[in-house]
């Protein structure tokens, strides 16, 4: 550290508090070395006034010989030169000598001190053994020390210290040293406290006077700085810094007050015009030149600030806080500029720039001087601000002095430069020899264009590099941009381009539109100079559509493009492809028809709404969209599949063929926020099982997940192409199919363009590129998103026949609808459908048949008459001519005849089969509706194969017959059940015998000839049979009736026949059965619990005919033909208890009116009108007979022959058990019986046919009285 | 008071930016944009400690010769999401009478007004702010200066 030659005492940091030494100088000199060493060794605690924290300090002192001049005179408040302690040294041990000289000397010393008011003194008496021995006349009792204490230290005995044998290495000597040093330190500190306290008080008083007129800041400054110096001297840098900060704040406040109109007189000196701008000087601890200026109140504001800062800087560096220096430096520089402005100090233009530039560099140099490289690099963030500031200032100086202009500086510029350099003054002696001083740099930079460029670039790059290292990319780019401006000024656009591009990208990425516009304008200029035609045009296009620019500017850029476009193309260069995004925005596309699914060759129009961003109308020669054609979703899939896919268009596709393009993303060029994330595109997803199309799962799928979840890189996510970044795929391939529109004028704003889409081939067409040609320029949008596509399908002609109503009913005319989807086939005149006739289903053709023709969109096109011609085998329907992809619909009436016979199991089987195939005809299948499948074979004109179509008809009725008997008389009942959902009129029910071998008269007992059968209701018809001789064994009957739906208008024609055929066997009554219940004898009525007699009489009604006789097993016993019958009394309702035997076998003589009576006993279990127990009769066949059990399905007698077998019929006497219910048969017993049947021959029972046995007492009841209660209840009362 | 007030989205694009001397608009845009560097640096440096603080005032971060730029940022619903919206107030540095707590109160006002904007159900978070109420509040803060 350099010291100033002329003023040697202060101002080096070797300053120490002054301690004067009087007395024996040679003695002191001998002790000086060890004293100076020992003093700072141990710290002392310094307790301070005003509540300041005590501090441990290491004391040092500057020992000087006592001179009277050293003592401060009144009013001199210089603290640095102030002697804090006065020491008198003596080694006198001789009383005589003491009295003779030393005492007087001491007295003189004391009086001088007292004269100057100094009370901080100390007398050191050095004792030495050697000296004592030499002297003989030592007073043993009173030593010199005591004498001195007596003489000088009235009450302050501690002011005299003994130092014994200081130069010897003994413990005594060490003890005395340490006590001496402690004393010395204590006294020193006491002196500090006292003197500094007094000083501070004075200082404060002075400060309080600052409002008084004569007060001067500079004077006060010098006072407080004195204090700072002392703290610095005591190594209390923190405290020293506080003093300067206080001064700084005070000054700042004055300046602010001045700005607020409260000016102080002394500020006038600081308002003087700035004449020197030599920058900060930080190389010296104290800049004496400036200090003197301040002392003389001649300092300018910059001088004061510079000096203040240099002191703060010095102290901060002592405190190891270099980064605070940089921060404060930047604040200071900003502040100074502001203060000069505020104080309205006149400054030569550029002078401040010089000052700031020099100061920045000076601070940086100073910092570099005290830190190593690694530290510097790690703390770029602290220094970079200064670097930038210096760069800025140098740049503005460069512009000011004409160093940036292409032509170089003018003479005016040179004059200005000279003035500025003059203000710098001479270079300081410290830096004269260094090569890189700020002074030299500035001098050099301002001296020539080349040097300026060199320095400016150096600084800029350094600052940019630093910003980049600490990740402040925006700041770095801003410098880069100003560098680009510099290059542009210099006429080196190729260098500017990179910086501009970098900045532009970042602004675009972050969506700062004004910057984008500004930088893009610079870019355009640059590209124009570089003759990058394509990039320039692209940038121009973006600028022409930029809303931030004025109309005029936009027109200019638009004109640039149009001018280029209209130039005749040179043979070498091709058309220039530019991005569409800058030129126009897609708004929406709309298909017409909206489904965007059309058949081959159909007209499909696409309306494109485009917002043209250009400021003027642009004539576009051709606007073309290339199509990507793929077969994958071609016509084979037909219509259903494609429409389904269409509906899932998501947020853009609105189902009506409109595709909206999102606004935000493509217009980042125009300035709106590009970073908006794309909207979620959600689709419904349904997973159906392939077999029965039931829903397995459903969910929501996000289709643009790849866009949403991708990483957001700041650099990579530039969607919009900036200049030169157009994708290479712009090349338009001409072979592909295109949507074209020619010669359109695009007005600024929204335009609508109509395209006709090619529909030549089936498949799916996707719009890929959009390209607008304006002369040599093509605007290309390489992707159209969201995907716009349409489908063209091709369809095979198709014929469907379906019933108009839910179900086709057999027997009555039904309407069926023929639908012909013509597909790609065009129905020509003369084309006819050939239906092969079947007998069971004639086609009823009416003359007024007409066909409707519908277009593919379901629009009704026309209606044509249809002619139907029937020949014997073929019904031919001639179709009206129909264009392709239309639908032809017409209706025909068909009739399906009801097969007459009751359908036997094979038809039943068919029904079952049908049920399995057609689950939809549920209710009718359940209700037992019989259906008939009718296959229709149709020859279509478009196919060589016949189309086989199956129609299912349902028979509306179900018939049942039964035979009823009354004695010998017979009745036939037919039950007709309407199983359909239609109400019918039923007319003329007729029962006829089909093969009347033996004439039987059937007498109708039905009252009405016509009646209504409601749906699901039944009608019963009854006929009595009359015959002459005897009934035939087998009777074949046919029931027929006509029916017509109630709703039918024309009652006569619409009545259709219904026929039901059936066969009756063994109808005539063979036996009649009569039962009688007799009350017990002597009683008039039956009573419960009393046995009653049951008399059953079985009477043979007729002799069997010859045919019947064959069936009946008869045996000849004693010349009498008898047949065996088995009877059984069963009471199913638990009313009766059959007592004794309940069944038995009787032999009936084969003769008319032969009667057999059987007596049994029954007991009524309840009172009331009880129905008679059931009595059943069976044929009893011996075992030899061949079993011929064929139970008639229509039999009303449901008998189980088996159940009787296990009763052990041979053992009749044991069957007297009470059998209330016939529920004993089990599977096991049944199997057993069958085995018995097979194994050993058993007698069999065979039921009679219905009607063969007539029960007289069917339904009869007998009155049973309750039994008189003869129970006696004994009641004993005690 | 203020010469430029900006609200900047999490993604660093301006949601709102207005400055008083219109001719200097571009300069303010550049300044505010560059400030983001310092704001980001500060936020990442302070990091988690920031979340506990209620006051998100970052202090004078980006002084320039002509202006003092006071950025602040906002963490909305601290527990759930960081909206990381940043507010920047640029003050003319010749305006020396402005105290720190005045700047704070300006930010508080700005913040409250912004919260109102966010509460508007018709406002789409991320859109530029076009609320008239917000605009007039900002104007009021700027007018006080002149």
Range with lowest mean pLDDT among A450-454, A494-498, A910-914, A1049-1053? A910-914
pLDDT score for A813: 80
Is residue A1043's pLDDT more than 90?
no
Average pLDDT of every residue of chain A: 76
Nearest C-alpha of chain A: how many angstroms from B25?
9
What is residue A921's DSSP assignment? Answer: -
Listed as ranges, residues in chain B with pLDDT below 70 are 1, 45-59, 61, 65-83, 96-97, 143-146
The set of residues, in sequence order, having a beta carbon less than 8 Å from that of A751 and lying 6+ positions away, is A584, A609, A610, A611, A612, A744
pLDDT score for A322: 86
Question: Between A and B, how many CB-CB pairs are < 8 A?
Answer: 74
Residue A135's pLDDT band (cuts 50, 70, 90): low
Please choose, from the candidates A100, A175, A159, A157, the residue with its C-alpha nearest in 3D space to the C-alpha of residue A124: A159
pLDDT score for A1113: 54
Strand order in the sheet with A658-660: A658-660, A584-592, A604-612, A749-757
pLDDT tens per residue across span A1045-1097: 887 665 556 678 888 888 887 777 888 888 888 888 777 888 887 888 888 88
* Interchain contact, B12 vs A510, CB within 8 Å: yes
pLDDT score for A7: 34
Determine contact: B95 vs chain A, CB below 8 A.
no
d(CA A578, CA A773): 10
Is residue A720's pLDDT more than 70?
no
Enumerate the residues of chain A whose CB falls inside 8 A of the CB of residue B38: 472
pLDDT tens per residue across span A442-469: 888 888 888 899 999 999 999 999 999 9
**For testing contact with chain B, the best of A673, A677, A717, A718 (most B CBs within 10 A):** A673
H-type alpha helices, A1192-1259: 1201-1205, 1227-1239
Closest Cβ–Cβ partner in A342, A472, A473 for B94: A342
Is residue A159's pLDDT more than 50?
yes
* Interchain contact, B96 vs A674, CB within 8 Å: no
d(CA A1079, CA A1090): 8
pLDDT score for A132: 58
Is residue A1216's pLDDT more than 80?
no
A1128 phi, psi to nearest 5 deg: -155, 135
Range with lowest mean pLDDT among A186-200, A212-226, A1209-1223? A1209-1223
Range with lowest mean pLDDT among A302-311, A395-404, A1007-1016? A1007-1016
Range with lowest mean pLDDT among A550-559, A744-753, B100-109? B100-109
User: Are A816 and A892 a contacting pair, CB within 8 Å?
Assistant: yes
| A1036, containing H or E segment | strand A1034-1045
**For testing contact with chain B, the best of A675, A679, A708, A720 (most B CBs within 10 A):** A675
Residue A1197's pLDDT band (cuts 50, 70, 90): very low
**For testing contact with chain A, the best of B4, B9, B10, B12 (most A CBs within 10 A):** B12
User: In a 10 Å sphere around its CB, with 0-12 CB exposed, 13-18 middle and 19+ buried, how is residue A1113 labelled?
Assistant: middle
Is residue A535's pLDDT more than 50?
yes
The set of residues, in sequence order, having a beta carbon less than 8 Å from that of A167 and lying 6+ positions away, is A30, A31, A34, A128, A173
User: Are A1161 and A1136 a contacting pair, CB within 8 Å?
Assistant: no
d(CA B46, CA B59): 13
Enumerate the residues of chain B whose CB falls inside 8 A of the CB of residue A389: 65
Range with lowest mean pLDDT among A5-19, A30-44, A317-331, A733-747? A5-19
Range with lowest mean pLDDT among A360-374, A655-669, A1165-1179? A655-669
pLDDT tens per residue across span A966-991: 877 888 888 888 888 888 888 888 88
Enumerate the residues of chain A whose CB falls inside 8 A of the CB of residue B94: 338, 341-342
pLDDT score for A1260: 83
User: Are A1134 and A1159 a contacting pair, CB within 8 Å?
Assistant: no
The whole-number average pLDDT for the span A583-588 is 85
pLDDT score for A87: 85
| A1018, containing H or E segment | strand A1018-1027
Q: At A1118, list the tokens.
A: 């004693």
Is residue A393's pLDDT more than 80?
yes
* The three-state (H, E, C) secondary structure of A162-228, written as one string: EEECCCCCCHHHHHHHHHHHHHHHHHHHHHHHHHHHHHHHHHHHHHHHHHCCCCCHHHHHHHHHHHH
Residue A760's pLDDT band (cuts 50, 70, 90): confident
d(CA A854, CA A851): 10
Is residue A56's pLDDT more than 70?
yes
pLDDT tens per residue across span A828-863: 888 888 888 777 777 776 656 788 888 877 788 888
Enumerate the residues of chain A whose CB falls inside 8 A of the CB of residue B9: 673, 675
Q: Which is it for strands A763-774 and A789-793: parallel, antiparallel or unpaired?
A: antiparallel
Percent pLDDT > 90 in chain A is 4
* Interchain contact, B30 vs A330, CB within 8 Å: no
H-type alpha helices, A997-1092: 1051-1054
The count of C-alpha atoms lying within 13 angstroms of the C-alpha of A138, restricted to the half-sphere facing its C-beta, is: 15
Residue A415: count of CB within 10 angstroms of its CB: 12
Residue B44: count of CB within 10 angstroms of its CB: 10
pLDDT score for A75: 61
Strand order in the sheet with A18-23: A62-65, A18-23, A83-90, A121-127, A160-164
Nearest C-alpha of chain B: how many angstroms from A385?
10
The set of residues, in sequence order, having a beta carbon less than 8 Å from that of B100 and lying 6+ positions away, is B59
d(CA A681, CA A653): 11
Enumerate the residues of chain A whose CB falls inside 8 A of the CB of residue B36: 474
pLDDT score for A436: 79
pLDDT tens per residue across span A675-698: 445 667 777 777 777 777 778 888
pLDDT tens per residue across span B53-64: 555 666 676 777
pLDDT tens per residue across span A228-268: 888 888 888 888 899 899 999 888 888 888 877 776 777 77
Specify the pTM: 0.63
Enumerate the residues of chain B whose CB falls inside 8 A of the CB of residue A471: 37, 41
* Interchain contact, A510 vs B126, CB within 8 Å: no
Handedness of CA A251, A252, A255, A261 (dihedral sign): negative
Q: Find the closest chain B residue to A356 by CA distance.
A: B65
The set of residues, in sequence order, having a beta carbon less than 8 Å from that of A1124 and lying 6+ positions away, is A1113, A1115, A1145, A1146, A1147, A1148, A1179, A1180, A1181, A1182
What is residue A32's DSSP assignment? Answer: H
Is residue A914's pLDDT more than 90?
no
Of A10 and B33, the one with more pLDDT: B33
pLDDT score for A1204: 40
Closest Cβ–Cβ partner in A333, A337, A474 for B36: A474
What is residue A894's DSSP assignment? Answer: E
The set of residues, in sequence order, having a beta carbon less than 8 Å from that of A32 and lying 6+ positions away, is A63
Nearest C-alpha of chain B: how many angstroms from A510?
5
Q: At B103, list the tokens.
A: 């700047």
Is residue A290's pLDDT more than 70?
yes
Residues of A with CB under 8 A from a CB of B: 256, 259-260, 330-331, 333-334, 337-338, 341-342, 381, 389, 467, 470-475, 478, 507, 510-512, 514-515, 518, 672-677, 712
Enumerate the residues of chain A whose CB falls inside 8 A of the CB of residue B30: 478, 515
**For testing contact with chain B, the best of A255, A261, A340, A512 (most B CBs within 10 A):** A512
Which residue shows structure tokens 């141990």?
Answer: A42
| A530, containing H or E segment | helix A513-530
């Amino acid at each position: 550290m350099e010291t100033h030659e002329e003023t040697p005492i202060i101002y080096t940091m070797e300053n120490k508090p002054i301690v004067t030494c009087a007395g024996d100088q040679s003695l002191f000199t001998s002790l000086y070395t060890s004293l100076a060493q020992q003093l700072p060794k141990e710290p002392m605690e310094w307790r301070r006034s005003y509540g300041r924290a005590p501090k441990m300090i290491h004391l040092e002192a500057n020992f000087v010989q006592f001179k009277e001049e050293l003592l401060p005179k009144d009013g001199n408040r210089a603290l640095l030169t102030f002697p804090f302690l006065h020491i008198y040294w003596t080694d006198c041990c001789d009383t005589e000598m003491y009295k003779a000289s030393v005492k007087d000397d001491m007295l003189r010393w004391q009086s001088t001190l007292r004269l100057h008011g100094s009370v901080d003194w100390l007398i050191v008496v050095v004792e030495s053994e050697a000296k004592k021995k030499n002297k003989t006349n030592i007073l043993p009792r009173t030593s010199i020390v005591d004498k001195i204490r007596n003489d000088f230290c009235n009450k302050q005995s501690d002011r005299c210290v003994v130092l014994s044998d200081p130069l010897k290495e003994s413990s005594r000597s060490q003890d005395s040293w340490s006590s001496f040093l402690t004393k010395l330190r204590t006294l020193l500190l006491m002196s500090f406290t006292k003197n500094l306290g007094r000083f501070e008080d004075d200082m404060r008083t002075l400060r309080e006077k600052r409002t008084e007129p004569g007060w001067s800041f500079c004077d006060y400054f010098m006072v407080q700085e004195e204090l700072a110096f002392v703290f610095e001297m005591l190594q209390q840098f923190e405290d020293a810094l506080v003093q300067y900060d206080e001064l700084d704040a005070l000054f700042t406040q004055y300046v602010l007050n001045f700005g607020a109109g409260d000016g102080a007189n002394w500020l006038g000196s600081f308002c003087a015009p700035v004449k020197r701008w030599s920058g900060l000087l930080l190389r010296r601890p104290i800049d004496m030149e400036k200090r003197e200026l301040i002392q003389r109140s001649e300092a300018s504001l910059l001088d004061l600030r510079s000096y203040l800062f240099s002191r703060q800087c010095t102290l901060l560096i002592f405190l190891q806080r270099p980064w605070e220096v940089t921060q404060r430096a930047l604040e200071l520089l900003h502040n100074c500029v502001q203060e000069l402005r505020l104080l309205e100090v006149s400054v030569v233009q550029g002078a401040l720039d010089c000052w700031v530039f020099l100061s920045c560099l000076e601070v940086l140099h100073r910092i570099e001087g005290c830190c190593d490289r690694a530290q510097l690099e790690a703390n770029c963030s602290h220094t970079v601000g200064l670097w930038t500031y210096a760069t800025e200032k140098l740049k503005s100086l460069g512009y000011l002095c004409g160093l940036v202009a292409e032509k170089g500086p003018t003479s005016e510029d040179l004059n200005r430069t000279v003035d500025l350099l003059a203000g710098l003054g001479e270079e300081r002696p410290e830096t004269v020899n260094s090569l890189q001083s700020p002074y030299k740099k500035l001098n050099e930079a301002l001296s020539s264009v080349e040097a300026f460029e060199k320095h400016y670039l150096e600084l800029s790059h350094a600052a940019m590099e630093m910003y980049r290292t600490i990740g402040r990319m925006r700041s770095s780019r801003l410098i880069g941009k100003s560098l680009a401006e510099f290059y542009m000024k210099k006429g080196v656009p190729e260098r500017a381009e990179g910086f501009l591009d970098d900045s532009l990208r970042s602004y675009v990425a972050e969506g700062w539109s004004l910057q984008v516009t500004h930088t893009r304008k610079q870019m355009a200029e640059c590209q124009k100079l570089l003759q990058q035609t394509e990039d320039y045009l692209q940038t121009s296009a973006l600028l022409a559509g930029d809303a931030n620019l004025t109309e005029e500017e936009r027109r200019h850029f638009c004109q640039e493009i149009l001018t280029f476009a209209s130039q005749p193309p040179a043979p070498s260069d091709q058309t220039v492809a530019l991005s569409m995004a800058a030129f126009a925005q897609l708004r929406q596309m709309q298909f017409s028809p909206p489904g965007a699914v059309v058949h081959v060759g159909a007209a499909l129009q696409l309306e494109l709404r485009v917002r043209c961003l250009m400021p003027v109308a642009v004539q576009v020669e051709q606007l073309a969209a290339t199509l990507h054609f793929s077969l994958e979703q071609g016509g084979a899939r037909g219509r259903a599949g494609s429409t389904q896919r269409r509906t899932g268009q998501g947020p853009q596709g609105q189902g009506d063929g409109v595709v909206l393009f999102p606004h935000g993303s493509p217009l980042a060029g125009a300035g709106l926020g590009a970073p908006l994330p794309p909207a979620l595109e959600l689709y419904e997803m349904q997973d159906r099982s392939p077999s029965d199309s039931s829903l397995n799962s459903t969910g929501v799928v996000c289709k643009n997940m790849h866009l949403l979840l991708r990483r957001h890189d700041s650099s990579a996510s530039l969607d919009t192409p900036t200049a030169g970044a157009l994708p290479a795929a712009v090349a338009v391939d001409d072979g592909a199919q295109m949507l074209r529109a020619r010669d359109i004028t695009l007005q600024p704003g929204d335009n609508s363009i109509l395209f006709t889409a090619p529909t030549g081939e089936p498949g799916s067409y996707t719009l890929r590129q959009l390209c607008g040609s304006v002369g040599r320029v093509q605007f290309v949008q390489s992707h159209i998103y969201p995907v716009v596509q349409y489908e063209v399908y091709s369809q095979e002609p198709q014929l469907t026949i379906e019933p108009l109503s839910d179900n086709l009913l057999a027997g009555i005319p039904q309407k069926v609808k023929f639908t012909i989807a013509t597909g790609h086939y065009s129905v020509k005149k003369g084309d006819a459908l050939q239906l092969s006739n079947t007998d069971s289903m004639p086609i009823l053709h009416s003359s007024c048949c007409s066909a409707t023709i519908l277009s593919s969109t379901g629009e009704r096109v026309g209606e044509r008459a249809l002619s139907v011609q029937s020949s014997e085998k073929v019904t031919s329907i001639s179709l009206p001519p129909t264009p392709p992809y239309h639908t032809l619909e017409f209706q025909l009436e068909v009739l399906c005849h009801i097969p007459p016979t009751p359908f036997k199991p094979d038809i039943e089987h068919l029904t079952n089969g049908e049920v399995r195939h057609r689950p939809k005809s549920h209710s009718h299948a359940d209700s037992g509706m019989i259906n008939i499948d009718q296959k229709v074979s149709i020859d279509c004109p478009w196919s060589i194969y016949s189309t086989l179509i199956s129609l299912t008809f349902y028979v509306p009725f179900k018939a049942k017959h039964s035979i009823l008997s009354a004695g010998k008389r017979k009745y036939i009942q037919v039950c007709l059940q309407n199983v359909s959902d239609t109400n019918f009129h039923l007319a003329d029910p007729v029962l006829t015998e089909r093969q009347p071998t033996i004439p039987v008269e059937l007498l109708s007992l039905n009252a009405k000839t016509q009646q209504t059968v409601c749906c699901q209701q039944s009608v019963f018809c009854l006929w009595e049979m009359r015959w002459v001789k005897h009934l035939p064994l087998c009777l074949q009957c046919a029931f027929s009736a006509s029916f017509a739906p109630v709703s039918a208008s024309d009652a006569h024609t619409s009545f259709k026949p219904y026929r039901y055929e059936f066969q009756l066997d063994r109808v005539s009554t063979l036996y009649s059965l009569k039962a009688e219940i007799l009350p017990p004898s002597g009683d008039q009525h039956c009573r419960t619990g009393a046995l009653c007699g049951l008399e059953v009489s079985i009477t043979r009604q007729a002799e069997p005919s010859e045919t019947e006789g064959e069936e009946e097993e008869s045996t000849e016993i004693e010349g009498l033909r008898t047949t065996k019958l088995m009877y059984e009394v069963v009471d199913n309702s638990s009313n009766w208890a059959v007592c004794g035997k309940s069944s038995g076998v009787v032999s009936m003589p084969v003769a008319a009116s032969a009667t057999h009576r059987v007596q049994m006993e029954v007991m009524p279990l309840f009172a009331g009108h009880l129905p008679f127990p059931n009595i059943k009769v069976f044929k009893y066949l011996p075992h030899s007979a061949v079993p011929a059990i064929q139970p008639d399905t229509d039999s009303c007698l449901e008998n189980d022959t088996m159940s009787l077998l296990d009763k052990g019929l041979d053992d009749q006497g044991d069957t007297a058990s009470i059998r209330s219910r016939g529920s004993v048969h089990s599977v096991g017993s049944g199997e057993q019986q069958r085995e018995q049947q097979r194994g050993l021959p058993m007698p069999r029972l065979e039921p009679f046919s219905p009607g063969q046995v007539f029960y007289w007492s069917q339904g009869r009841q007998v009155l049973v009285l309750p039994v008189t209660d003869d129970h006696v209840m004994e009641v004993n009362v005690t | 008071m203020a010469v430029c007030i900006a609200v900047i989205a999490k993604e660093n694009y301006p949601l709102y930016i207005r400055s008083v001397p219109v001719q200097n608009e571009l300069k303010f845009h550049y300044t505010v944009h560059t400030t983001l560097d310092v704001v980001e640096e500060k936020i990442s440096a302070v990091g988690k400690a920031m979340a506990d603080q209620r006051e998100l005032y970052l202090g004078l971060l980006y002084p320039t010769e002509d202006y003092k730029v006071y950025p602040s940022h906002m963490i909305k619903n601290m527990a759930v999401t960081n909206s990381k919206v940043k507010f920047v107030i640029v003050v003319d540095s010749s305006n020396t009478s402005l105290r720190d707590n005045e700047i704070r109160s300006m930010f508080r006002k700005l913040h409250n007004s912004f919260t109102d904007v966010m509460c508007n159900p018709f406002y789409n978070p991320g859109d530029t702010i076009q609320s008239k109420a917000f605009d007039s509040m900002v104007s009021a803060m700027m007018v006080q200066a002149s």
